[in-house]
């Protein structure tokens, strides 16, 4: 992805969050100079991979297959007392996060506001898609779903996804951009994701302009911070 594209995506995400009355930590808007001034006190941000995360999953087409994430809270198994994580995400209409599961993480996905969020779910069967129906929790209510059926979360609804549940999601066309929350066990995007079809997680960036905001995968390069 080009840095200019990432910069535009973040500006649009910030504007959408502000319209939705969802506000990020002050450091989410720091300039590179402010990061340099404050980096010695930011070890938790660096080691827990907090902050902006933009991905096109290797598609080369962010609007069709991509996601904006901002990790607000996270821990490191066995190294910190935090055994939980929280993210906010921006999902566009017809913008897909491809089919995947997590080896260890259980998560609640919440439609915070905006449009409708559509899910397709399968249980994992040795890496393949189990065609049999199964139960999930929707807002704490046990609900039986058919493998692969479209499940719609309107604003305020939430879905609990246990480990080894394949899930694909996107914003419903015509309903608007979705402000999407995630509350989960500790998050590890380097080793806990299993995509059904090969997908890239952190993009290679073509530096055609200066970063507007640093991404979680920028800290080491721009700040010399230990991850």
Residues 181/73, Cβ–Cβ less than 8 Å: no
Pull the structure tokens for residue 87.
């993210």
pLDDT digits (tens, 9 = 90+) for 147-162: 999 999 999 999 999 9
Q: Check pLDDT > 90 for residue 224.
A: no
Fold of 3-223: Jelly Rolls (2.60.120)
- Angle at the Cα of 67 (from 100 to 146), degrees rounded to 5? 40
Please tell me the number of Cα atoms within 13 Å of 99 on its side-chain side: 14
For residues 112-135, give the mean pLDDT. Answer: 98
How far is CA 12 from its chain centroid? Answer: 16
Calculate what percentage of the chain has a pLDDT beyond 70.
99
Report how far residue 225's alpha carbon sits from residue 39's, in angstroms, rounded to the nearest whole number: 8
For 44, the enclosing helix (H) or strand (E) is helix 43-47
CB atoms within 10 A of CB 180: 25
pLDDT at 204 (0 to 100): 94
* Residue with more model confidence, 107 or 225: 107
Pull the structure tokens for residue 6.
């990432």
Task: Return the domain boundaries, the chain.
Answer: 3-223
Report how far residue 44's alpha carbon sits from residue 151's, in angstroms, rounded to the nearest whole number: 36
pLDDT band at 78 (very low <50, low <70, confident <90, very high): confident
pLDDT band at 225 (very low <50, low <70, confident <90, very high): low
Report how far residue 175's alpha carbon sits from residue 113's, in angstroms, rounded to the nearest whole number: 11
CB atoms within 10 A of CB 56: 20
For 172, residues 6+ apart whose C-beta sits below 8 A from its C-beta are: 93, 115, 116, 117, 118, 152
For residues 65-74, give the mean pLDDT. Answer: 98
For 9, residues 6+ apart whose C-beta sits below 8 A from its C-beta are: 54, 62, 68
CB atoms within 10 A of CB 204: 8
For residues 46-55, give the mean pLDDT. Answer: 96
For 18, the enclosing helix (H) or strand (E) is helix 3-19
pLDDT at 226 (0 to 100): 56
For residues 212-226, give the mean pLDDT. Answer: 90
Report how far residue 218's alpha carbon sits from residue 124's, in angstroms, rounded to the nearest whole number: 33
pLDDT at 107 (0 to 100): 98
Residues 169/91, Cβ–Cβ less than 8 Å: yes
Question: pTM here?
Answer: 0.96
């Amino acid at each position: 992805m080009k840095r200019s594209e990432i910069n535009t995506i973040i500006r649009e995400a910030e504007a959408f969050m502000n319209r939705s009355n969802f506000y990020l930590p002050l450091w989410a808007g720091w300039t590179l100079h402010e990061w340099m001034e404050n980096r010695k006190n930011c070890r938790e941000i660096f080691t827990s991979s907090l902050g902006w995360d933009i991905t096109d999953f290797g598609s080369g087409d962010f609007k069709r297959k991509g996601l904006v994430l901002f990790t607000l809270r996270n821990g490191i198994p066995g190294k910190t007392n935090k055994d939980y994580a929280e993210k906010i995400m921006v999902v566009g209409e017809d913008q897909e996060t491809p089919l995947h599961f997590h080896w260890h993480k259980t998560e609640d996905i919440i439609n915070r506001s905006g449009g409708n969020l559509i899910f397709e779910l399968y249980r994992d069967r040795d890496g393949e898609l189990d065609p049999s129906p199964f139960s999930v929790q929707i807002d704490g209510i046990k609900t039986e779903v058919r493998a692969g059926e479209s499940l719609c979360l309107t604003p305020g609804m939430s879905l609990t996804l246990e480990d080894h549940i394949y899930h694909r999601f996107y914003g419903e066309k015509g309903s608007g951009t979705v402000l999407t929350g995630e509350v989960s066990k500790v998050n590890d995007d380097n080793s806990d994701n299993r995509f059904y079809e090969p997908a890239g997680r952190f993009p290679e960036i073509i530096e055609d302009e200066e970063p507007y905001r640093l991404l979680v995968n920028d800290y080491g390069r721009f700040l010399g911070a230990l991850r």
